[in-house]
Structure formats: structure tokens, C-alpha cells
Amino acid sequence: MKSIKAALIDATLNTVETLVGHLPDPAPDPLRNAREFIGKPYPRVDGRLKVTGQARYATEHPIAGMTHAVVVHSSIAKGKISHLDTQAAESVPGVLAVMTHRNAPRMKTPETASLFNPVAGSNTSVPVMQSADITWNGEAVAVVVAETLELANYAAGLVGIRYEEEPAALSLEAEKGNATIPTLVVTQSPEVNIGDAKAALAVAPVVSDQEYETPWQNQHAMEPHASIAAWMGKDQLLVYDSTQSPPGVQHNLARMFDLKPEQVRVVTEFVGGAFGGKVAAWSNVPLAAAAARLVGRPVKLALSRAGVSMVVGGRTLTQQRVALGATLDGKLTAMIHTGYGMRTTKDVWAEQYTFPIRHLYASPNIHVLQKVVRLDRVQNSYMRAPGETPGSFALESAMDELAHKLGLDPVELRMRNEPDKDPTHGTYFSSRHLREAYALAAGKFGWDPQRPEPGTQREGDWLIGTGVATAFYPVQQLPVTIKARITADGHVEVSTSSIEMGVGLATVQTQHIAERFGVPYERARYLHGDTDLPMSQASGGSAATSSVGAAIHAAADKLTEKLLKLAQRNKQSVLRGVKRKNVELRAGGLYRLDQPAVGESYEQLLGASGQAFVEAEGSVPASALVLNMKTSMASYGAHFCEVRVHARTRQVQVRRFMSAFDCGRIMNPQTARSQIVGGIIMGIGMALMEEAVYDERTGRLMTPSLGEYHVPVHADVPEFEVYFLDEPDPVMPMGTKPVGEVSIVGTAAAVANAVFQATGIRVRHLPITADKLL
């Protein structure tokens, strides 16, 4: 039974979707097929800075009087601090302070981002060091500030703490009876009912009905969560932070310290990996600011590798049921996807593991339901393709199981169930070239529809198997504002607070600027990562390229009008009297559409006016922000994997991995390939090794370092073959679609399906370790 709140939200979303459905489609971007700069493999604009060590990350900014901070973590999951002894730590020469709830500056409770406050800036609403309460094992309970990092680390070990422990909810399995239905899954209902899936499943000639589990996964970016905080007087705060959202951190700190946003400046020049873990602020950021206020000097706080795993939330563990019913010729008649993820006492964030089944395959009967289980753990949060990644493991494994029962090629099963419209929303696809992606990848891979029986193909001591899976990631656009400036010497500069976290955004936007304004590549410049620049939302959800691109397009339209006005004021201008609809930005100036050779360069237009520059702000149009309610928009891919499994030791090796993608227009094939390969590597890690293990008696993390929590290294992965269809989407800015996250989706299933083909053993509980294949 839905709550009144959930029903009201559903009704509101349905009304908005109806209204959006009447909006006209946006005009196609004229740059969809432009190829002078877009589509070329330009090297990264920041590459030289990075390889020469000149790129400055969060804690590498020199500030006079710098101090160093180390966090002390709780060792219980729930309860209160009953005793604190900081005397030994405070007596160490060089220690400036030991901050606890007893002496920490007063901070308001952080606010989590929502539909109604998208830049709230925190991942959790748990108060930060304001009371003796303990919310999870690993929560920050003290911060030691010293002259050196070594002293701070030493003194942190001297802090004595005793607790009054309370019973804690620590096991998803044990707490499932208390599960609840969340109000929303991202912006959609947690429940979908089309037809009668239960009845259709009961009479289906062929059925696959299984449960799948994925473990908790931790964030392990190369650069940990790290900050420098420095107070400039009592009410001006400067923060260098490794974040995906400088404005989010700015608004979070302003709220917590009772400041106006403009009193907080957040700078993020470079980010050493993020993968969703830095979309919003965790407690380390306000702790650095509070410690800096306490000692009256700048504070550098970088979480340790174990500290990241304790303070920063990762991907929720899941238990999922996928039931598929089909006719004897492989047409789906019923699809059911239900399951459990976690939430915490304070916050609910339901990860969208049922999204793939809502959009990938046609069926007249669909039932989807997500539930959440309250646990006393660190808040789960964004991690590369959150939700879609564990959900695709379950769905794509189930499709493989159904194909095996049918005796049907798993590629053919997917093609027989390709929808002509979105299966749950009923909207049309803006573009969907999944068939073409499968055809391309299957041909390149040498896929054989008539594969041998599972467990029968060998090369010496190795069992050989191949598997496939579909990749899917939805399109979204986020609020972004940029400022574009054309100078009298013909340069174009675009600035925004949106960040570059290593994905190549600065490079592709430099290409875009050159293409949009018709200037040489070396005359285009992209500035980013500073809240003194125009506001943007977090860089995440594979939305930065299209969102920033849409804002640049909007600014270019405004600049076209401003330049035309300059021409109208100049009696000598060849553009005087020309209408706006008959001019465009091209070849470093403003030119007529009907007489392409007639126009003036930026230098001529600004020189004649006596202006040093002309500038305009541009934002993502409101119609673009809701376009995915009118149209089903996503990137798609086809994964093909070959593994070998040692017959005696059961060691699994991924020998080949090949994928083809429909990601719309590819802005830069070099940076795009890098993103795709990175996602596949993370997916292989999910399939074969990544698992955060918790002691369910204490809530203690038993895999705090990379010595226990394993991630792939070069020896664990093969050479990758990646292909792009490079088909522009007709409604997206520049024809682009998501690239950064789609490739991790389906990867674990492709590996698992290949392992089944090699061994005849179906592993439904990740990771696939040797003990599960014995």
C-alpha cells in the first residue's frame, strides 16, 4: 500500500510527464554532423600538466601555516561515547588540538540533495561530530591536528575512547522482515505493474526464476577524499577539495557554518578519480573546515585508504529476484524483478537496480518492486552506474539462463525481444541502435550461435567459455550555467564551476568550443572547477558533456545576437540590416547563411565597436532537463567475453573482451575509449574479486585496504576491443549520449555467463571466486 506522500509524488510525476509529452522536440543541433574538431582524437588538454607533475590536486596547494589532520574512527556500530581521554594525544609536542564532539565548532546538520534542493551538497544528514551518538562503525569521533602528518597519525593512536554500545541492525538477510518501500527510486516509482506478470509467469511454457546477490562495494579512487580548509577571517572560507561538485560542497559548508554561499569558495583544479563517490560531500570536508576554525590555521585532511572505506559510502549490497517467462520460440510473456537494497537510519537512497528491466526488453506483463532495509552502516551512495550495475548482473544472467533453457542463442533471444517503444513508459526512443551494436560486436568477436554444451570446451587444463550481455545507461541532463567570452583577438573562453575528474571533459569541450564558434583549437579555452565561476550541478550521471554542451550552445545563441547588434551599429558593416535568422557563427566570426562568404571576423566586429570582449551566460534549457520524460533516451552496448577457467584450481581469467556501443555522437574517440575500458575493468573487478566484507556482529569493515579488498590490475585484464557506432542522437546536444558509465553495466553478467559456459556452473552471488566453482 502506497503512502499518501508516495501517491502524491507519483501523481505529480505523472502530471509532469503528461505536460512534457506535449512539448515540441528540440531543433536538431547543427553540430550533430560537424567534423572539423568534434570526433577527432585530440590528446588531453591537461595531459602535459599531469605527466610532468604540474597538475595540482586537492592537497597540493601551498598555503602558509599548513597543519595536518588525521581522523579517529568509531569501533562500534551504534551507541554513545561514554568516555574520552585526549590528554596523552594533546601532550605530544607538535599536536595543536584533538577535536571531538566536546570542543568542535557548532555545525548545523548537513542536508542531502533532493529534487527540491539539488545542490544541497551532502550524501548524508547525519550530524558531524556534534554529539556523543554513534551511527555506524567507522564514523569520525575525533580529529587530531598537528604540525606534521606523522605526528597527527601517532597522536591519533593515543586517543582513548569507551562506548555504551546498543543493539545494531547489521545484516540485510536478518533485517529483511522490516523492509520498506521507498518513496522514490531516483525520480521514478519503486513499483511498476503492467498487465499481470504473476499470472503470466504461472502459465509460461518456459520459466527462469532465480535469486541473485551482489555485495557491498567500496570506493577506491586513486586520489582519496581530501581537502584543504583555510579561514580568511571569521566569515570567509577557502576550500580546496577533491569533489565532483564544488557548488554542492560550497552550499553544504555554507549551511553547516551559517554562512552565505558567496562566503565559501571551493576550488577543484584536478580530481584523481571519483566514480560517483565525490558527487557530494562526506564528513571529511566539514571536519577539515571545523578543525581549521578550531586551531586558527589552514588544515589539510586526506582520508587514509581505510578511512575512505569507513567514511565514504559505496554501492549497496543487493538481493534480487528475476523471473522471466517465455513462449517456446523465445518471446517474453512475463518479467518480474524485485529485490532488496539498504538504507540507513537517517537517510534513504534506493539504488535503481530495476531500471534496466524497465527499458530493455518487450513484454506485455511486467512487475517491478524495490524495497530497502535499514542498516546501521555508512550511507550507501553513488558508484559508477549505481543501480544499473548490480541490476544488470541479475537481469542479464537471467536472460542467459532463459536462453539455455530454450536452447536458443542468447544473442538471438535478446533480438527477439527488442521493443519498438519503451516497455514501461510507452514513449518512443530518441535513438536505439542496439541491434546494430550486437551485429557489429558479434561479427568482430566471431560469435558462434551454435556453441558447444557448457563445460565441454577445453584447451589443455583450461575450460573455455564465452558469454554476452547488454549494456544500458539512461540519458540525463543536469543544471549547468557557463559564461562564454569572445575577445577582440579572436579567442573564445568558456568558464563554469563544473569539474574535470579525469574523463576528458575539458578536452572535448575545448573541441566543442572550437567547433561551435569556428575558431582554431588553440584559440579555444575551457576554465572549470571553481565556485567563483558560473554555477553548475555535480559532474555525474554521465551527463557533463551534454549538459555543459547545451549551456555552451545557449550562450553561443546569445552571443550571436550580441555580435549582430554590434554589426548593426556599424554603418560600414557588411552585416548591417541582416536578420538574426540569416546569420551564424562560423570561421571565427559572424557570417550570412544565404551568402556564406559575407561576414566579419570576431576581431573586426569587436575592433570596430571598441570593445575588448563580448560575453554571455548560457544554461541548460528547462525543456532539455525534462526531455527524458518525453522520450526514452539511453546509451546501449553489446558485451562479448571469453574466459578460461583452470580445471583444477578454478582460477578464472578473462581472455578476450569486446564491446560495441551506441553512445550517440562520439566527441573524442580517444577519451571515449578510455572511459569505456575503465568501466569494463571495474565490471571485471565486480565479477571476479570486489567485495567489502563486514563483521555482522560488530559492523566492522574487514577489508579496509587494497590488501584485502581486491581490484583488477593489468595482469587481470586482457586487451580490449571497443567499437562505436557513432550515430548522432537527433535530440541531444551535439548528438551525444552517455559514455562514462554505460560500459560497466552488463560486464559482470557477460563474465558470469562466460564462466557458466566454460564450467557448467551458474554463479548467482558475486564475486565469482574459486570456492564457488568447486
- The residues that bridge with 720 in the sheet, in sequence order, are 657
Q: 160-197 b/e with 16+ CB inside 10 Å = b?
A: ebebeeeebbbebeebeeebebbbbbbebbbbbebeeb
Active-site annotation holds for 741 = yes
Q: β-pairing, 481-487 with 492-496?
A: antiparallel
Report the alpha-carbon distance of residue 753 to residue 641 in Å, rounded. Answer: 9
Dump the DSSP string for 473-539. Answer: EE-----BEEEEEEETTS-EEEEES----SSSHHHHHHHHHHHHHT--GGGEEEEESBTTSPPB--S
Picking from 44, 136, 152, the residue whose alpha carbon sits closest to that of residue 92 is 152
Cell 535568422 sits at which residue?
581
Cell 581522523 sits at which residue?
71
Q: How many CB atoms lie within 10 A of CB 31?
A: 22
DSSP state of 666: -
Stretch (H or E) spanning 757: helix 747-759
**94 is written with which cell numbers?**
607538535
Stretch (H or E) spanning 23: none
Tell me the CA distances in angstroms from 344 to 72, 205, 215, 291, 453, one per residue in order.
22, 41, 17, 27, 45
Alpha-carbon 43 to chain mean position:
23
Is 515 exposed, middle or buried, given 0-12, 13-18 or 19+ CB atoms closer than 10 A?
buried
The answer to whether the CB of 331 falls within 8 A of the CB of 402 is no
The answer to whether the CB of 386 falls within 8 A of the CB of 357 is no
Tell me the CA distances in angstroms from 214 to 358, 389, 507, 617, 736, one per residue in order.
20, 10, 35, 44, 31
- The residues that bridge with 614 in the sheet, in sequence order, are 486
**125 is written with which cell numbers?**
544528514
The answer to whether the CB of 218 falls within 8 A of the CB of 309 is yes
- The residues that bridge with 615 in the sheet, in sequence order, are 485
Angle 760-762-766 from CA coordinates, rounded to 5°: 140
Picking from 17, 124, 144, the residue whose alpha carbon sits closest to that of residue 72 is 144
Q: At residue 28, what is the residue type?
A: P
Report the alpha-carbon distance of residue 752 to residue 213 in Å, rounded. Answer: 13
Report the alpha-carbon distance of residue 728 to residue 743 in Å, rounded. Answer: 18
Report the alpha-carbon distance of residue 646 to residue 429 in Å, rounded. Answer: 43
- Helices 669-688 and 388-406 pack at an angle, to 10 degrees, of 70
Report the alpha-carbon distance of residue 455 to residue 464 in Å, rounded. Answer: 8
**Overall size of the chain counted in residues:** 774
Q: What is the dihedral sign for C-alpha 762, 765, 766, 770?
A: negative
SS3 sequence of 433-478: CHHHHHHHHHHHHCCCCCCCCCCCCEECCEEEEEEEEEEEEECCCC
> What residues contact 366, with CB distance under 8 A and at least 6 apart?
192, 193, 194, 195, 197, 334, 335, 336, 357, 358, 423, 424
- Of the chain, the end-to-end C-alpha distance in Å amounts to 44
Q: β-pairing, 652-662 with 524-528?
A: unpaired
Among 351, 401, 690, 741, the active-site one is 741
Catalytic annotation, residues: 741
